[in-house]
Copies of this chain bind each other. A is one copy, B any other.
Amino acid sequence: MCSLPIPLEPLCRVAVTGGTHGNEMSGVYLARHWLRAPGELQRPSFSAVPVLANPAATAVCRRHIGRDLNRTFTNTFLTSKPTPDEPYEVTRARELNQLLGPKNSSQAFDFLLDLHNTTANMGTCFILNVTDIFAMHLCHRLQLQHSEPRPRVVVFKLSQEETFSIDSVAKHGMTIELGPQPQGVLQANLFSRMRSLVASTLDLIELFNQGTAFPAFEMEVYRFLSCTDFPHTEDGDLAGMVHPQLQDQDFEPLQPGAPIFQMFSGEDVLYEGDSTVYPVFINEAAYYEKNIAFMKTEKVTVSIPALPVLSPAPAH
């Protein structure tokens, strides 16, 4: 597994995207607010660009119109020939790739921060590609600065060919995921927390640009393993639900033999794995259509090397 290139120049082209899922309201309303008042996103060496990623879906307050935009930034979709009946999000992904990429090109934005909410009890969570050393440094520093509730880091081990999310269009990127918040609801405490995390992220990029040292460190992360499906009836309908003992226990250890589902008929379904895992996105509303009840992760410690120290950047 190769790491992404470590930046050797200041990151001057930075974007903050909200509304990638149109019913995740913290990012939707932060993006709309910054589009009216972008000053909050300015730093001495760069001005981050606010983007409302899926305006059609936000207009009707749905996750998506045709397909999940945040699974559409693959080379296949981005290089496909436009057709009249393609899903809106395929067209929109190509537009965003022109605006923020092109993906894997030297013209791509330096950093993309994507803002999400979940109905699961995930607290403050950063999601990123573990090979993005620069973004891992940001997560580490954000963890130190925003200790309550303690942010968790979820990593995927993806090769560059497999990436599909909006942040993969830029050279570096990550997702901030705050929960629990119902779809279509804007809660002031999460809105403020998101706003503060974005401000800190931009401050950290500014620090890097100004030549601050980012030494090596070790970090505990939750590495994605696999998804667990809901139990179903023969005709495909739900046959049970997330067990009350598992509900809201995101990032807590799940031991073999512990209950994971409560069937409508009354009996419990137990976890049959042979090792302890750490479930995340437990009972997330958006994953019902994918049939996913929760995702399993393992807790591992990763070693992240130091970043190079840049010469101080000139004010832009």
A201-223 contacts to B, CB under 8 A, are: none
Give the contact stretch, choosing among A10-18, A145-153, A237-245, A272-280.
A237-245
A186 touches B238 (CB 8 A): yes
Residue from B182, B192, B262, B288 in contact with A188 in the complex, judged by beta carbons closer than 8 Å: B262
Q: Quickly give the copy total for this chain.
A: 2
Q: Tell me the complex Cα distance, A32–B189, Å.
A: 36
Interface status of A61 (Cβ within 8 A of chain B): yes
Chain B: minimal CB distance from A232 (Å): 12
Q: Tell me the complex Cα distance, A233–B32, Å.
A: 11
A238 surroundings in chain B (CB, below 8 A): 29, 186
Chain B: minimal CB distance from A191 (Å): 6
Interface status of A187 (Cβ within 8 A of chain B): yes
Task: Count how many chain A residues have C-beta atoms less than 8 Å from C-beta atoms of the other chain.
Answer: 34
A284 surroundings in chain B (CB, below 8 A): 185
B183 touches A184 (CB 8 A): yes
A186 touches B33 (CB 8 A): no
Chain B: minimal CB distance from A125 (Å): 17
Q: Tell me the complex Cα distance, A61–B181, Å.
A: 18
Q: A29-B264, A180-B182, A182-B119 are in contact. Are A283 and B187 (CB under 8 A)?
A: yes
A237 surroundings in chain B (CB, below 8 A): 32
0/1 per residue, A226-269, Cβ < 8 Å to B? 00000001000110011110010000000000000010100000
Q: A182-B180, A238-B29 are in contact. Are A188 and B247 (CB under 8 A)?
A: yes
Q: Tell me the complex Cα distance, A286–B189, Å.
A: 20
Interface status of A56 (Cβ within 8 A of chain B): no
B29 touches A182 (CB 8 A): no
B241 touches A187 (CB 8 A): yes
A283 surroundings in chain B (CB, below 8 A): 185-187
Chain B: minimal CB distance from A255 (Å): 19
B187 touches A285 (CB 8 A): no
A189 surroundings in chain B (CB, below 8 A): 244, 247
Interface centre among A180, A183, A184, A192 (most CB of B within 10 A): A184
Residue from B185, B191, B192, B241 in contact with A186 in the complex, judged by beta carbons closer than 8 Å: B241
Q: Tell me the complex Cα distance, A87–B188, Å.
A: 35
A247 surroundings in chain B (CB, below 8 A): 187-189
A-B contact pairs, 15 of them (CB 8 A): A61-B289, A180-B182, A182-B182, A182-B183, A182-B285, A183-B184, A185-B283, A186-B241, A186-B242, A188-B241, A188-B243, A188-B244, A189-B244, A189-B247, A191-B241
Using a CB–CB cutoff of 8 Å, the interface residues on chain A facing chain B are 29, 32-33, 36, 61, 119, 180-189, 191-192, 233, 237-238, 241-244, 247, 262, 264, 283-286, 288-289
Add 13 more A-B contacts to A186-B241, A188-B244 (CB < 8 A): A29-B238, A29-B264, A33-B264, A61-B288, A181-B182, A183-B183, A184-B286, A185-B285, A186-B238, A186-B242, A187-B242, A188-B243, A191-B241
Which 7 interchain pairs have the tightest Cβ spacing? A182-B182, A184-B285, A119-B182, A188-B244, A185-B285, A188-B241, A33-B264
